[in-house]
Structure 1
């Protein structure tokens, strides 16, 4: 056995360094690079880096950049709660988990945390070196108490004594007191004190948690500057008021993140009260296993040692910063009323194609033609108008809808209540497991149930993620079914921020399929099949694989072929493998994947015909569109499902076939502009990294977040995603 010489990679912790053998790191990197799949979690970090890139774009205003930095922090919080939390479910209970990278749970945890440490370092550099220097010229300042004018310091002292002081509670931890509950995502001071000389006590440790129901910054309005004083700096300055006659030796400001993965296990106990189960699980978010500690540099070793021992954490779980703790607080600055005009507003929505008359009867319009809504370029108003009209229309017999997320003071919920009051049959499937919206959904579902609606509280086994609405209306001597099918939620707030597609139609084929679908999810019906829907958890993956194989067969025959898929995430291995096979058969494949992409493009002999781009910009890309060229007779689906294991196996999802020629032209145009965008686009490389598209000299700028406000103009331009085989 030979002893190979190894070098070491330094990792900094509170000014000290620990080392890791470079040979071990090299073996890990080799294993990751050899895999034909990209790690889901490492791919997600690449996505958050693309969001951070928006904060580092000098052409944006400082307030836009602060907003994007805050978004990256919020994203990372959720990543730790859900993805890292899930990883610890395997680590803590010795359950086997092999990542797409080929690594087992502990080696993967090491490489993942190295990547997160590097990302957070870039976050801090962005804030300190790129954003803070821009503050003074933009009329704002983040200041410590010592930097304030005397009269301002008095004002802050008054705020502490009469607002903060009564809310703060020192929580001692010693031989007589149990360890206090420290809440998820709240900043906290670890305070090391020493007793008076009279009682000769040893050093003690206590905690002061900062209240969550107060603004992150105290605001002082000067003549030409708005000063933001971090609440923790106010408490730090006056914390001695909580420890009278006690010497404070050290203060350590930290913030913990807890495991928030409350995925429900499958249960065959039909007597179980499902709502109570959800409510109980929600409480674990407050007391779940700690997975991260963020702490200011110069922290007390005793404090962090105590926390690590208490929660079973390692050095790489500790994230040390010289900067502001918790960038999510920057939303208070970025979205401040004082600076509202400093963030470019979204252009007013335009009428969808085909909706040219302002006061047309919504039922008559939909009966005459299918109506594609492309949000936020088209308003969500037609959907709300249809639902509100249905609630009041005496000829409407029933309304059925699936709800995943609602806005606060939701017009959707109000319309459903009105419909029930007016004696209509209202069926609502509320998904109680919609992450972080569980409590709001429970509350709204109970309101509707009390009003007489038939409410289904989701399913133990599956999460209902599909977005469908059915309105049954009596017209003359027949019944007409009006449907809405969408990639987005029935949430009028996010419809202004997310790009989504929705289809309004009165086609009998859609109505029949969706009626059958609701019979499945509200009863025990088992339809033989659908004409225009692909659904999960039973058939979606196989249906998509069949469509991919048809393109491969067309390629083998020398026929025109091609695939374009626009989704949020691509993670399902069977779909990825079929994409690889189609690529090897000669099918040109273009993937528009906003976030996670576990497929490795442009690998020789594997995926040379696959291109992947990601679009990250002012709006959150949320549409799901599946395009199959089909020898010049495109077959295109839209809907709620991403290409993920959970979408195919653990969710109730649907994709709807586009049958109207006008709508099909619009969908193809949407995909075409997505691919042409050279402002928001990032091209994925074979190694999983991304390169921002840069327009060539003289190239026309294409920004999809601006272009779609003129869909009528875009439709006048020639668009063909794939040419015939002989001209390709």
Structure 2
């Protein structure tokens, strides 16, 4: 057994300085060009999402959804990653890069790759998904495809529902060029004044609150839709009476929406954040998307007025902003979606046959419970646990971290109910959760008004760990009930994100959480813990030592293996540790959803490393760290990805899973993911992601998520049969 407190005291008999010196020696023996660029790797991830949209074996409305996901992902990439790189270049700050190239060269590569992907994305819609939808009875038409009767019906809709909310903005000496909001879809319109003969320019924003696709006609099993911007564009004469409409083109602007707050220089974090969110709306432009038919006069005007470069212009075949396909993907056609899956209740939490309810506390007292979402229900596990705790008169205190949730969340309601019932309730709200800042501020204040003790974490650190701690009085003594998860306490995303959560009454975990919450509501994370590895002080070092234990075991001729499942693998120290382990003969499996800066094809260095990526109906979100440990497996789950921000600038927590059945379950999942008979993307020796989803005979390989779904259902059926 490895005690994590011992891990923090040193590696064997070596002290920290000896360990760091040994690491530096190892690093000097590794190739210089040993990392992949993180931004290019992220684009490769989004290409994998696009490949699902291009796959004819995927139900067509799910393909439309993947196109929308691709578009949304790329928007965030530009708003944050590209914007961050440009901000650092402009301000002269050091630009993090692990590939030894100039930042401007990186931006040039990003621009080229992103442009190619956006063209491919548009083509996938035009030539693949849209025709497939039409074949299935969902036809997305153009204005020219409409009959006269359909145009008359749509004109009535335009007059009644669209025209009143449109706001055309002219550009002339009396009207300066209008502010263009980020991610808005717009029409650039050139008109001629019939009286003066002078050409003018106008901008018209497509109203985001209206359906992006307007229903034209529903006839039995066939429905027809028209893009909203097409409807507006062909009725511009109503907006500009007495004017001649010369031309119109769609365009869309992306702005820098990264939030930067100097926390050590502000007295009130909430006020500073609210001011920064206001500033975000007016961030500088970083991408201009235009229709590929836009004329040079209009484009030159936009470039000049928006102060944007040619490199930042993306000419694309229409329609722009395919995030609108999220609406289409919700069409109620079960035959065009993935087969429905209803999450099961985890076996220990299944209701008592006598009263139809589960006693969550009694179930957890019997032994640790590992829950796998969304295969197993969040509602009947995490939510039910918190709701029972809020009502239970024996519960004295509830402490919880909240990174992303919804304002109407039953999680928030349960915390409010607990506070109003007189319990001590602490909610550590991370108001800096990107793009959820404004919502988090709103419901944090709602919690405060209800009497919940709300704290906002530590200066300079985001609190990203997923922790829930309940203190209950039982037989005159206090008992801790703990939940440590890999995903957010969000009932909505729990249906789409794959995550694990561990419930336990283990006293060591309870003590760890008591100390950690005290430190989070206080000033600093300094203490070492028994069953937790906690960032920013101890997590990286703990993982490095666990990996190095495998390296030394391999050198001693023992079997050794490291298995890591994360969303992103970027941190150079962790990657170098995996390289060193591989050199020593350790079998290294990396299962990564998104960014991977680890390189393959380095002779003598990566010979024992395998890298896989799995995408599907659910977003693979759990983080798992498994070490062979000479036959006594050490397995951790938690919130941390292998990125600088997670290891250095966030409060993260991993918990060691000790139940033999749970360890077996996690290792079995890894066996399935890394098996060559399982559908996945594999990182090749030339560092290209290659999809393997068919066998040599053209038959589909095993789908990990379908297989897991079936296994969970089968487990439930076995329990029912026994009962």
1:220 maps to: 216
The equivalent of 2:253 in structure 1 is 256
Shift of 1:422: 0.4
User: What is the match of residue 472 of structure 1?
Assistant: 471
Shift of 1:85: 1.1
318-327 vs 307-316, which deviates more? Answer: 307-316
CA gap of 1:115–1:388, structure 2 versus 1, over 3 A, is same
Alignment of 1:28-427 (within 5 A): 35-97=33-95, 99-197=97-195, 199-201=196-198, 203-224=199-220, 225-269=222-266, 272-337=267-332, 339-355=333-349, 358=352, 359-380=357-378, 381-427=380-426
Q: CA deviation at 1:648?
A: 0.7
Render the CA deviation track for 1:238-278: whole Å, top value 9, x for unaligned.
11222122222221210111111113334244xx2211111
- Give the direction of change, closer, same or farther, for the CA distance of 1:135–1:706 in structure 2 (3 Å limit): closer
Judged with a 3 Å threshold, the aligned counterparts in structure 2 of structure 1 residues 682 and 177 are, in CA distance, closer, same or farther, namely same
Q: Which residue of structure 2 lines up, in the alignment, with residue 667 of structure 1?
A: 666
- Per-residue deviation, residues 342-382 of structure 1 (Å, max 9, x unmatched): 21244222343544664442111101100000111111121
Aligned Cα RMSD in Å?
2.1
Give the C-alpha shift of residue 676 in structure 1: 2.5
Gaps of 5+ in 2: 1-30, 717-723
Which ranges of structure 1 fall in alignment gaps of 5 or more residues?
1-32, 717-728
* Residue 596 (structure 1) aligns with: 595
Displacement of 1:310 in angstroms is 3.0
Length-normalised TM-score, structure 2: 0.90
**More off after superposition, 310-319 vs 445-454:** 310-319
Residue 140 of structure 1: how far off its partner (Å): 1.3
2:375 and 2:712 in contact (8 A); partners too: no
Q: State the secondary structure of the residue aligned to 2:219.
A: coil
Where do residues 463-542 of structure 1 align in structure 2 (5 Å cutoff)? 463-524=462-523, 528-542=527-541
CA deviations 1:521-567 (Å, max 9, x no partner) are: 01247664210001111111111111111111111111111100000
Task: Report the counterpart of residue 719 of structure 1 in structure 2.
Answer: none
C-alpha spacing 1:527/1:602, structure 2 compared with 1 (3 Å): same
User: Structure 2: how far apart are the matches of 1:678 and 1:282?
Assistant: 47
Which has the higher mean CA deviation after the structures are superposed, 213-222 or 364-373?
213-222
State whether residues 80 and 256 of structure 2, in contact with CA within 8 Å, keep that contact through their aligned partners in structure 1.
Answer: yes
Q: Is the 8 A contact 1:669 1:714 kept in 2?
A: no
Q: Provide the rounded CA distance (Å) in 2 between the counterparts of 1:378 and 1:114.
A: 42
Give a deviation string over 1:608-650, Cα, whole Å, max 9, x none.
Answer: 1111000111110001000111111111110000000000111
Q: Distance in 2 between matches of 1:516 and 1:711?
A: 38
Contact 1:571–1:645 under 8 Å retained in 2 = yes
Instruction: Please tell me whether the aligned partners of residues 666 and 715 of structure 1 are also in contact (alpha carbons under 8 angstroms).
Output: no
Is the CA contact (8 Å cut-off) linking 2:469 and 2:510 kept in structure 1? yes
CA deviations on 1:108-167 (whole Å, 9 max, x unpaired) are 111111101111121122112212222332111112233222222111111222222221
Q: Could you say what secondary structure the match of 1:135 adopts?
A: helix
| Change over 3 Å in CA distance of 1:144–1:709 after alignment to 2 | closer
Equivalent residue for 2:8?
none
Change (3 A) 1:92 1:268: closer
Say if 2:395 and 2:473, in contact at 8 Å, map to a contact too.
yes
Secondary structure at the aligned position of 1:470 is classed as strand
Count of paired positions: 679
For 1:308 and 1:605, the matched residues in 2 are separated by 50
Residue deviations 1:402-434, cap 9 Å, x none? 001113521111111110110000000011111
Question: What SS does structure 2 have at the residue aligned with 1:160?
Answer: helix
Partner SS for 1:267 = helix
Name 2:708's counterpart in structure 1. Answer: 708
